[in-house]
Amino acid sequence: MILCDKGLFTLHTKNTTYQMKANEYGVLLHTYYGPRISSGDLSYRIQYTDRSFAPNPEEAGENRLFSLDVMPQEYSTCGMGDYRLPSLELELPNGSRSADLRYKSFRLEDGKYALEGLPAFRGPEGETLVVVLEDAAAQVDVELYYGVLEDYDIITRAVKVLNRGGGTVRLRQAASLCLDFQRGDLDLVTFDGKHVLERRPNRAPLIPGVRSVGSVRGTSSHQHNPFVLLCDHDAGEDHGLCYGAMLLYSGNFEAAVERAQFDDVRLVLGIHPHHFCWPLEPGESFTAPEAALCCSKQGFAVLSHRLHRAIRERLIQNPWKGLPQRVLINNWEATEFTFDAERLMQIAKSAAPMGIGLFVMDDGWFGARDTDAAGLGDWTVNRDKLPGGLEDLVPRIKALGMDFGIWIEPEMVNEDSKLYRAHPDWAFQIPGRTKVRGRQQLVLDFSRREVRDAVYGALKAMLSSADISYVKWDMNRSLATVWSAGLPPQRQGEVFHRYVLGVYDMLARMRRDFPGVLIEGCSGGGGRFDAGMLYYTPQIWCSDNTDAIDRLRIQYGTSFCYPVGTMGAHVSAVPNAQTGRSVPIETRGVVAMSGTFGYEMDLGQTTGEEREIIRRQTAFFKEHSRLIQEGDYYRLTDPFQNGPYTAWEQVSPDRREALVSVVFGTAHGAPPFSTLCLKGLDPALRYRVNGGEPYPGDVLMEAGWPLPMPWDDYQSLQFYLAAV
């Protein structure tokens, strides 16, 4: 699906086409990305005209019709006459900070590329296109990597910068993706929020200038997500052209979009240039993270389906995929730090008869950990709480027919810990400045190998001491006072990125040494919910907010890029700890079921009626877990529109099954009649709704299904459709 012809490069997926061309001056121009078209040179679309104040490169001679400032480029630079967003900024030995890239060569490599130390989509058998650009004066090569996931309509991109000269070159910016559009009438959709209210879609038409979102917190953050959409003004769930771009990276990032003077648009996505400076000595190279593109001319739903399938099948490495689905119970909201072995056993014994198959011991089991002010860094069992240690507790849990999981926060340290007292220089602190704490903790310098080795050694000993099948990897603060004692002053601009590489290294080691352990990511909930983490952790705690009504919005926004099966979601006690709201347990179950599903409460405190509901919920989820987590996901309503209800649907790949979930809002007198039109069914098939009379698929999609009137606040319902 990669065609190369005299500087013209065309990449086809099943439904899309991507093309670029090196022109007569060696500039690699971007000619097309969109719905699939037949092969051909699309550079005819680029118009050449004399524009005032648009500089002309020397090679153009007296040709004033060619200027980098108006050309759609494949990888933009700065300082050479293009005043739009740059992708690459070099600081050369002479102090200049410009780059001038021209086409040098290309090569095809067998198979989809991988990136050392960085996450990347795994490709089927195929090829990688590498286009090499060079800055001859700087003696710097830039290799642009392209992968094609044909059946998923995904184009992947990565960048390697190589110093072939004799002096030190400093990278000030090295983005992973540049995408130029020869049109300005587009909307930008970003996914923004804050702790306990993550990934709210924000949509606005592009106006002249630059709009950017990003993070300088050391993680991808609760505030913004490294996934953005560009789309037609009228694009919706089922119609319109839309483009999705994601960065497979878990640290500082920036997604910047510029609508320039002639109504062209440029998207640049990559590592945030804030506090980034990477020196390249002669012969050294730097690899930027992978970015991925997807396009749909049929609206957001199809785009999401393609992204979900690619993430599930070509990114995530889930050791439990295909095995019986385990419903989880976590003790945190039931006990917080106050527990012992017998209290944990009480919770487990109350959960086991209800079909719950995984017990997770949360924070407080290690060191001197009775509050959040002590113990982090000391990954040995607190024998006051667990006298027999894990080697006693885990077999007792297993005897109930449950697997055992455990919570860790390895990137952090409390000053009141053995680790910090022995190695205070292992935490990020700037000499001569006061400390900046978050949740009474400091951040360990994972850019340093000796720090990672020590922490991982303790974790490995702990995980080897008992039969543990699940780890919740948490991270509860943003980075500040970032300075590493392991690097000289002139290399402190590397620390943020090296920290992320260190986290990936730790996760890769854990996956290698404990291949059967399922790792769930977490950062105060959804503060590091990105495709980079999903490469190592097949699921991520979606938000610390477990209120079912707030979760409707959080999970809705998350679903535009990320599959349901990646979203950690639990039923918690009411009144809810974040909102004080009380929602029926049936509704809490319906919402959490569109995620990994579990419970975060003391089930021993529930009524007999509630326990029976929980038994039915766990049995229903196990029966339909493959449909829920692997089916095509349809957003039937937008919860941000404050309608009378929120509805969504999962449809099996063969379209013979579907599950529809509905959650009503607050009840009002004399409610209107509501009819819900379904999606994704086969119009030629007939479906039984909850085992009743069969109805044709086209009838259910076009005429709809009547909903009952709500009889109280926050009621819910589910109906299962099976083809006959």
Is 83 within 8 Å of 91 (Cβ atoms)? no
Other Cβ atoms within 10 Å of 354 Cβ, number: 21
Instruction: Give the pLDDT confidence of 223-264 residue by residue, as tens digits.
Output: 999 999 999 999 999 999 999 999 999 999 999 999 999 999
pLDDT greater than 80 at residue 404? yes
Is 538 within 8 Å of 153 (Cβ atoms)? no
Summary mean pLDDT of the chain: 96
- Rounded to 5°, the CA angle 677-682-686 comes to 85
Omega before 205 within 30 of 0, i.e. cis: no
Identify the pLDDT of residue 431. 95
Supply the DSSP symbol for 112.
Answer: -
Instruction: Give the pLDDT confidence of 159-179 residue by residue, as tens digits.
Output: 999 999 999 999 999 999 999
Identify the pLDDT of residue 322. 83
Count how many residues are written for the chain. 724
Q: How far is CA 194 from the centre of its chain?
A: 16
Is 524 within 8 Å of 195 (Cβ atoms)? yes
* 3-class secondary-structure state, position 376: coil
> Rounded to an integer, what distance in angstroms lies between the CA atom of residue 293 and that of residue 15?
13
- Rounded to 5°, the CA angle 139-144-148 comes to 165
**pLDDT tier, 338 (very low <50, low <70, confident <90, very high otherwise):** very high
Q: Which helix (H) or strand (E) holds 397?
A: helix 390-398
**Which residue blocks in 212-338 are alpha helix, DSSP H?**
300-314, 332-335
- Rounded to 5°, the CA angle 635-528-278 comes to 130
Pairing between strand 657-664 and 674-676? unpaired
**Which residue blocks in 337-386 are alpha helix, DSSP H?**
341-351
> Rounded to an integer, what distance in angstroms lies between the CA atom of residue 676 and that of residue 662?
10
Pairing between strand 598-600 and 328-330? parallel
Identify the pLDDT of residue 60. 84
Pairing between strand 285-296 and 154-163? antiparallel
Identify the pLDDT of residue 701. 98
> Which residue's entry shows tokens 């113990």?
375
The set of residues, in sequence order, having a beta carbon less than 8 Å from that of 6 and lying 6+ positions away, is none
pLDDT greater than 80 at residue 125? no
Whether the full predicted model's pTM is greater than 0.85, yes or no, is: yes
Identify the pLDDT of residue 5. 86
Supply the DSSP symbol for 372.
Answer: T
Query: Rounded to whole angstroms, what are the CA distances from 140 to 174, 464, 497?
Result: 13, 47, 21
pLDDT greater than 80 at residue 707? yes
Question: Could you write out the DSSP letters of every residue in 444-511?
Answer: B-TTSHHHHHHHHHHHHHHHHTS---EEEE---S---S---TTS-GGGGGGHHHHHHHHHHHHHHHHH
Is 248 within 8 Å of 510 (Cβ atoms)? no
Q: Among candidates 271, 266, 267, which has minimal Cα distance to 286?
A: 271
Identify the pLDDT of residue 124. 79
* 3-class secondary-structure state, position 172: strand
How much of the chain exceeds pLDDT 90, in percent?
Answer: 94
The set of residues, in sequence order, having a beta carbon less than 8 Å from that of 466 and lying 6+ positions away, is 390, 391, 393, 394, 395, 404
Q: Which two tokens stand for residue 56?
A: 């002309």
Q: Which long-range contacts (CB under 8 A, 24 or more apart) does 11-14 make?
A: 11/129, 11/146, 11/148, 11/155, 12/36, 12/39, 12/148, 12/150, 13/148, 13/149, 13/150, 13/151, 13/152, 13/153, 13/154, 13/155, 14/150, 14/151, 14/153
**pLDDT tier, 108 (very low <50, low <70, confident <90, very high otherwise):** very high
Residues carrying an active site annotation = 530, 610
**pLDDT tier, 319 (very low <50, low <70, confident <90, very high otherwise):** very high
Identify the pLDDT of residue 528. 98
Instruction: Give the pLDDT confidence of 34-67 residue by residue, as tens digits.
Output: 999 987 899 999 988 888 898 888 888 888 888 9
How much of the chain exceeds pLDDT 70, in percent?
Answer: 100
**Distance in Å from the first CA to the final CA of the chain:** 39
Pairing between strand 571-572 and 598-600? parallel
Q: How far is CA 367 from the centre of its chain?
A: 32
> What average pLDDT does range 5-11 have in this prediction?
92
Q: What residue ranges define each of the domains in the chain, with the CATH number in brackets?
A: 2-314 (2.70.98.60), 328-630 (3.20.20.70), 639-723 (2.60.40.1180)
